[in-house]
Chains A and B, each alone.
Chain A
Amino acid sequence: DGGITQSPKYLFRKEGQNVTLSCEQNLNHDAMYWYRQDPGQGLRLIYYSQIVNDFQKGDIAEGYSVSREKKESFPLTVTSAQKNPTAFYLCASSIVSGWGGTEAFFGQGTRLTVV
Chain B
Amino acid sequence: SQELEQSPQSLIVQEGKNLTINCTSSKTLYGLYWYKQKYGEGLIFLMMLQKGGEEKSHEKITAKLDEKKQQSSLHITASQPSHAGIYLCGAAGGNNDMRFGAGTRLTVKP
The finding on whether chains A and B are genuine partners in a shared complex, rather than unrelated, reads: no
